């Protein structure tokens, strides 16, 4: 299906017969400054996929230190089994059980390295890019598919979340699979294997991705459209009913098993300052209009680049143009791509799922946004660039050198710009890897402490991992506290205690490393710590002390302080 019939993009401008007769017989034909005509669109799209995979691999292989939000999730792999993943997660994390099971399997097989724990997200992100290449080529014209694939391959956020211990890349893959299966059935309604694949995947999708409910709803709407078009064909009716029952039943089972507990915690998101803006002010119409403009021109549509507060306005315009064009040419596909957005907006209105405040919670829409942006870009090019022509400018070494312009060359120029982004992306990732970061400093402190810990030594952390009146709770420091907990649990010796009463610390079984974390979110209870240390000094002598400065902000310092305590005598 072609959205716009692709003209002969490289037809030469016709000259007059007199011009042809007057031209020297031995004249060298003019050469274009950029030989863009030689770049095959299909091959370019495949190159985009390869370079996109390269960027993802580079971002994954450099193994950035686990940061706060990742630490909140990763600590569950270290302290729980498969059944434990069905209970409310540590630190109130909202993550589907399927992602937790995959992460636990990676941890059990490959260990607790960044590579192992990020492996499920990495596989999901790479698979999504490759499947999107196939989906785009099968649904829209070659130029639109080229631009769409390039946009997704060069976008930063899909790359970033492909190397994180978070479920967002998996959301993107699950939504794309549901979309592709539903569209395959719409194109070939009597393909039994496509129906079987969709129904089986519908059973697994709610356990793998929460936003799959939105995409599954869009797939159900498309299949309803198909059923009405085919005049309620009995065979299609059976498939339609099975899909709906399986998807709904699986979602209810997931929700009752563990989703409800996470949803209760998720209801608190509206009280957190950073998430308040993710829920529409439905009771204030004027603010709602401004909110709609702000959220859709921000990080939600940062493909391939963009930022908050209007930084993604160009992508928004391309998506709007692409939606209009697709509505005119292939309305069912347009409905399939856009409907999840409406369902997600409704969920945000009733405060059940954040909408568009960040790219990560909307990454399941990345394939739809990129496809629509590619269609929009090609539509504008085909609309306003009518002809191919050449501008003769100068001669080099006796040869005429020209600049060519037109729809085909313009598409290829945009493709070359995307290629530059895909080459620069891995370089940027490597450069960023070389910069010192608070996460790196924090991890280095714990790793260094572990290297100096001898057999029989114990670690005693002054901070508490549960709210306590007797010690500072690490949850008060949000993500930075989460990273500290993960690093300590990951590298600690077998003897590890959190906020243990000082009178319970036995002085007769070797040395104790006392660790105190202080962050920038809240004040550190210095007097309480001094009293704690003095109590320990009754049985221990301070053999050494050191401090690691991680960062400073607002007059506070994030530090990890360590004391080596040896039994007296």
Note the pLDDT tens digit of each residue in 204-217: 999 999 999 999 99
pLDDT at 21 over 50: no
Query: Do 517 and 375 belong to one domain?
Result: no
User: Would you say residue 240 lies in a domain?
Assistant: yes
Q: What is the DSSP string of 330-375?
A: -HHHHHHHHHHHHHHHHHHHTTSS--SSSSGGGGGGHHHHHHHHHH
Region of poorest pLDDT, from 216-225, 248-257, 376-385? 376-385
CA distance 316 to 334: 16
Q: What pLDDT, on the 0 to 100 scale, is given for residue 26?
A: 47
Structural domain including 252 reads: 38-381
Query: Do 80 and 170 belong to one domain?
Result: yes
Mean pLDDT of 470-489: 85
pLDDT band at 34 (very low <50, low <70, confident <90, very high): very low
193 contacts: CB under 8 Å, gap ≥ 6: none
CA distance 254 to 562: 44
449 contacts: CB under 8 Å, gap ≥ 6: 459, 491, 513, 515, 562
Q: Give the pTM.
A: 0.85
Instruction: Return the percentage of the chain with pLDDT > 70, whole number.
Output: 83
- 478 and 521 in contact (C-beta within 8 Å)? yes
pLDDT band at 232 (very low <50, low <70, confident <90, very high): confident
Residue 283 in 3-state DSSP? coil
Query: Do 375 and 445 belong to one domain?
Result: no
User: Would you say residue 8 lies in a domain?
Assistant: no
Note the pLDDT tens digit of each residue in 263-290: 776 656 655 656 778 889 988 888 999 9
Q: What pLDDT, on the 0 to 100 scale, is given for residue 285?
A: 87
Query: Do 377 and 446 belong to one domain?
Result: no
pLDDT at 30 over 50: no
Encoded tokens for 563: 């004391």
Mean pLDDT of 131-156: 93
- 248 and 207 in contact (C-beta within 8 Å)? no
pLDDT at 22 over 90: no
Query: Do 310 and 459 belong to one domain?
Result: no
325: cis peptide before it, omega within 30°? Answer: no
Q: What pLDDT, on the 0 to 100 scale, is given for residue 400?
A: 56
41 CB neighbour count, 10 Å cutoff: 21
CA distance 62 to 145: 31
User: Would you say residue 395 lies in a domain?
Assistant: no
- 309 and 322 in contact (C-beta within 8 Å)? no
pLDDT band at 386 (very low <50, low <70, confident <90, very high): low
Q: What pLDDT, on the 0 to 100 scale, is given for residue 165?
A: 95
Q: How many domains does the chain have?
A: 2
Query: Do 356 and 470 belong to one domain?
Result: no
pLDDT at 90 over 90: no
Note the pLDDT tens digit of each residue in 498-507: 988 888 888 7
Mean pLDDT of 120-145: 95
- 296 and 345 in contact (C-beta within 8 Å)? no
Query: Do 103 and 188 belong to one domain?
Result: yes
Residue 492 in 3-state DSSP? coil
Query: Do 203 and 308 belong to one domain?
Result: yes
What is the overall mean pLDDT for the chain? 84
Region of poorest pLDDT, from 105-119, 331-345, 382-396, 413-427? 382-396
pLDDT at 16 over 80: no
Q: What pLDDT, on the 0 to 100 scale, is given for residue 33?
A: 40
pLDDT at 150 over 80: yes
389-396/399-405 β-pairing: antiparallel
For residue 558, which phi and psi values (nearest 5 degrees)?
-90, 120
57 contacts: CB under 8 Å, gap ≥ 6: 126
pLDDT band at 9 (very low <50, low <70, confident <90, very high): very low
Mean pLDDT of 475-501: 87
Angle, alpha carbons 127-129-134 (nearest 5°): 95
Mean pLDDT of 504-530: 87
Q: What pLDDT, on the 0 to 100 scale, is given for residue 421?
A: 73
Residue where a domain stops, chosen among 357, 381, 405: 381
SS3 labels along 140-161: CCHHHHHHHHHHHHHCHHHHHH
Encoded tokens for 254: 């997931």
- 367 and 175 in contact (C-beta within 8 Å)? yes
Region of poorest pLDDT, from 116-120, 194-198, 270-274? 270-274
Q: Which residue has the tokens 């607002």?
A: 554
Cα atoms in the Cβ-side hemisphere of radius 13 Å centred on 407: 22
User: Would you say residue 14 lies in a domain?
Assistant: no
pLDDT at 170 over 50: yes
Residue where a domain stops, chosen among 359, 381, 403: 381
């Amino acid at each position: 299906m072609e959205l716009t019939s692709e003209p002969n993009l490289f037809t030469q401008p016709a000259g007059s017969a007199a011009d042809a007769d007057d031209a020297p017989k031995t004249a060298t034909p003019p050469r274009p400054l950029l030989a863009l005509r030689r770049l095959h669109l299909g091959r370019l799209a495949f190159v985009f996929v390869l370079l996109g995979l390269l960027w993802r691999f580079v971002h994954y292989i450099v193994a950035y230190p686990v940061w706060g939000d990742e630490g909140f999730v990763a600590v569950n792999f270290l302290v729980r089994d498969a059944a434990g993943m069905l209970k409310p997660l540590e630190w109130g994390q909202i993550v589907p059980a399927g992602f937790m099971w995959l992460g636990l399997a990676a941890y059990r097989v490959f260990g607790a390295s960044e590579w192992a724990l990020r492996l499920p997200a990495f596989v999901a992100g790479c698979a999504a890019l490759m499947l999107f290449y196939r989906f785009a080529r099968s649904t829209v014209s070659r130029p639109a598919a080229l631009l769409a694939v390039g946009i997704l391959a060069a976008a930063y956020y899909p790359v970033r979340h492909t190397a994180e211990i978070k479920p967002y890349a998996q959301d993107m893959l699950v939504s794309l699979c549901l979309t592709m299966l539903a569209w395959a059935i719409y194109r070939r309604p009597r393909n039994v294997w496509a129906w079987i694949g969709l129904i089986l995947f519908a059973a697994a999708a709610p356990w793998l991705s929460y936003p799959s409910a939105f995409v599954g709803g869009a797939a159900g709407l498309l299949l309803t459209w198909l059923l009405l078009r085919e005049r309620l064909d009995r065979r299609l009716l059976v498939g339609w009913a099975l899909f709906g029952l399986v998807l709904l039943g699986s979602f209810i089972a997931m929700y009752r098993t563990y989703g409800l507990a996470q949803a209760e915690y998720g209801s608190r998101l509206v009280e957190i300052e950073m998430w308040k803006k993710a829920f529409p002010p439905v009771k204030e119409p004027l603010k709602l209009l401004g909110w709609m403009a702000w959220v859709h021109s921000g990080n939600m549509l940062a493909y391939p680049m963009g930022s908050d507060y209007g930084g993604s306005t160009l992508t928004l315009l391309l998506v709007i143009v692409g939606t209009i064009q697709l509505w005119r040419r292939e309305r069912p596909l347009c409905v399939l791509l856009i409907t999840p957005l409406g369902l997600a907006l409704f969920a945000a209105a009733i405060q059940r799922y954040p909408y568009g405040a960040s790219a990560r919670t909307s990454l399941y829409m990345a394939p739809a946004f990129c496809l629509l942006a590619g269609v929009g870009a090609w539509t504008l090019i085909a609309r306003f660039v009518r002809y191919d022509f050449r501008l003769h400018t100068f001669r080099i070494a006796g040869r005429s050198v020209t600049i060519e312009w037109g729809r085909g060359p313009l598409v290829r120029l945009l493709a070359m710009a995307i290629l530059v982004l895909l080459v620069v992306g891995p370089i940027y990732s490597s450069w960023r890897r070389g910069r010192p970061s608070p996460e790196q400093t924090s991890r280095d402190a714990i790793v260094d402490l572990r290297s100096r810990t001898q057999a029989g030594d114990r670690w005693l952390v002054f901070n508490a991992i549960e709210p306590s009146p007797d010690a500072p709770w690490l949850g008060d420091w949000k993500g930075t506290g989460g990273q500290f907990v993960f690093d300590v649990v990951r590298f600690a010796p077998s003897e590890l205690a959190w906020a243990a009463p000082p009178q319970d610390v036995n002085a007769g079984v070797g040395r104790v490393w006392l660790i105190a974390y202080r962050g920038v979110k809240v004040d550190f209870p210095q007097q309480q710590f001094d009293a704690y240390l003095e109590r320990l000094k009754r049985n221990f002598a301070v053999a050494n002390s050191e401090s690691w400065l991680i960062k400073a902000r607002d007059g506070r310092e994030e530090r990890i302080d360590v004391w080596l305590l040896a039994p007296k005598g």
